[in-house]
Amino acid sequence: MDELADLTRDLVSIPSHEDETAAGDFIEDWLREETDANVTRDGAGSVIARRGDPDAECLALVGHHDVVPPDDSQVDADGGYVVEERDGRLYGRGAADMKGAVAAAMLALRDAEPAGELVFASFVGEEVGGTGARFAIDDGFAPDAAIVAEGSTNYSGPDVTDVVVAHRGRRGSTIVAHGSAAHASEPEAGENAIYRACDAVDVVRGLPFPTAEVFGHEMEGSVVVTQVDGGSAWNVVPERCALTVDERTVPGGYTDLARVGDLPGVEWRVEQDLPPMECGDEAFADAVLTAATPAQDGDPAHVVKPHATDAGWLAGAGTDCVICGPSEPGEAHTADESVSLAVLDRCREIYRRAAAAWPVHQD
């Protein structure tokens, strides 16, 4: 565990919220020195390493080394990230999301005896829309299956690292209502864009949410207006009002937001669409669960996750994905972000066991 803790500490200490280059350099150098893998760096800056039979089915261990901007308390006077260990946990920006998991996957790549081809990938740009994963996919990254090492711990119960078989996506969109300006003393001379925006809000509030079922788990989408921007002065009838909408999607389903476009003077446009994920291979999901069970005292289960990850992009490109990692609900993106060192070691063992058992469809 000491080696894993040291590797995680080193990786977490490297700032990577504005530029991931230094963190990628560290990962690449370590893989070249410590493993016999074929290590490459793609045009986006992501690090990809391959071991085993290149002609066999391919299992990928996937993470990302970019992070969200740190809290002031997580940065030292020299601009480096503060890393502290106490009570069996490592604290620092990116410890949970997700440099700890990246470190566990690096060691699993080195130590595993893969039955097929084993690939490690640490992407850039996950926190800004999956730019690294999308670049890699366009560049030919196409494993048969992937364990994405995002958080799956403490979902079914305390001190249990589960296997996520599906997650919701996120579609962010803007509704713009157009009117015509007039002096507020003569409101009938104009067309109030805020009133039209309110009509659009009423439509959004009445829309049904999509649902999906994955391996017996029910999932439901959601949609909510989160921002309103309209008007220019207290005495002017507004000619424009914009609404920001956060929509959580499920596999195969969107809320019918296009209906707001039927209102007079109202348009709707999509700003971002992070796809949901569902595992298409139950045997693979079962195999990862089988690997997870002896690695811990608890009883892990197949679960679903509310947050979008790079697994959505990979699944959309044809890779069967599950999520299994150390981060717990409520840890990521916080001022006191931390990860359990014992759970990191657990995940390293899960990844190693899963690689040894892959492929699951052998003759």
What CATH number is given to the structural domain containing 330? 3.40.630.10
pLDDT score of 202: 97
Same-domain check for residues 200 and 292: no
Angle at Cα 94 formed by Cα 92 and Cα 97, nearest 5°?
Answer: 130
132 and 92 belong to one structural domain:
yes
Average pLDDT over every residue of 224-240: 96
pLDDT surpasses 80 at 254: yes
Could you tell me the pLDDT band of residue 115, with boundaries at 50, 70 and 90? confident
Domain with 201, as residue range(s), is 169-273
Q: Do 168 and 307 form a contact (C-beta atoms < 8 A)?
A: yes
Using pLDDT thresholds of 50, 70 and 90, give the confidence band for residue 1.
low
Burial class of residue 344, CB neighbours in 10 A (0-12, 13-18, 19+): buried
Question: Based on the domain organization, do 327 and 258 belong to the same domain?
Answer: no
d(CA 351, CA 113): 11
Assess whether 35 and 91 both reside in one domain: yes
Q: Are residues 109 and 151 in the same domain?
A: yes
Domain boundary among 273, 301, 319: 273
Q: Are residues 55 and 189 in the same domain?
A: no
Q: Are residues 43 and 136 in the same domain?
A: yes
pLDDT at 362: 52
Q: Running DSSP on this structure, what letter comes out for residue 184? A: T
Q: Dihedral sign, CA of 324, 86, 107, 67?
A: positive
pLDDT digits (tens, 9 = 90+) for 122-149: 999 999 999 999 999 999 999 999 999 9
Q: Answer with the one of 273, 304, 335 that is the final residue of a domain.
A: 273
Instruction: Please check whether residues 54 and 95 belong to one and the same domain.
Output: yes
- Domain count within the chain: 2
Percent of the chain exceeding pLDDT 70 equals 99
Establish if 362 belongs to a structural domain.
Answer: no
Please determine, for residue 59, whether its predicted confidence score (pLDDT) is greater than 60: yes
- Chain segment 184-204, per-residue pLDDT in tens: 999 999 999 999 999 999 999
Residues in the chain: 363
CA neighbours within 13 Å on the CB side: how many for 120?
Answer: 34
Residue 202 lies in a domain: yes
Whether the predicted pLDDT of 230 surpasses 90: yes
- Note whether residue 339 is domain-resident: yes
**Cα dist. 187→180, 182, 184 in Å?**
10, 6, 5
Question: Are residues 352 and 218 part of one domain?
Answer: no
Given 255, 273, 291, which residue is the final one in a domain? 273
pLDDT at 359: 84
- Residue 150 — very low, low, confident or very high, per pLDDT cuts 50/70/90? very high
Segment 19-46 shows an average pLDDT of 98
Per-residue pLDDT at 104: 98
Q: Is the peptide bond before 329 cis (omega within 30 degrees of 0)?
A: no
Is 218's pLDDT higher than 90?
Answer: yes
How large is the average pLDDT for residues 98-114? Answer: 97
Q: Read off the pLDDT of each residue in 38-67 and give the average, rounded to a whole number.
A: 96
Tell whether 58 is covered by a domain: yes
Does residue 73 sit in the same domain as residue 190? no
- 311 and 268: one domain? no
Residue 82 belongs to a domain: yes
pLDDT at 97: 96
Residues 64 and 30 in one domain: yes
Q: Classify residue 294: in a domain, yes or no.
A: yes
Per-chain mean pLDDT for the chain: 96
In a domain, residue 109? The reply is yes
Say which CATH number the domain at 223 has. 3.30.70.360
Asked whether residue 349 carries a pLDDT value surpassing 70, the answer given is yes
**pLDDT digit string (tens) for 281-314?**
999 999 999 999 999 999 999 999 999 999 999 9
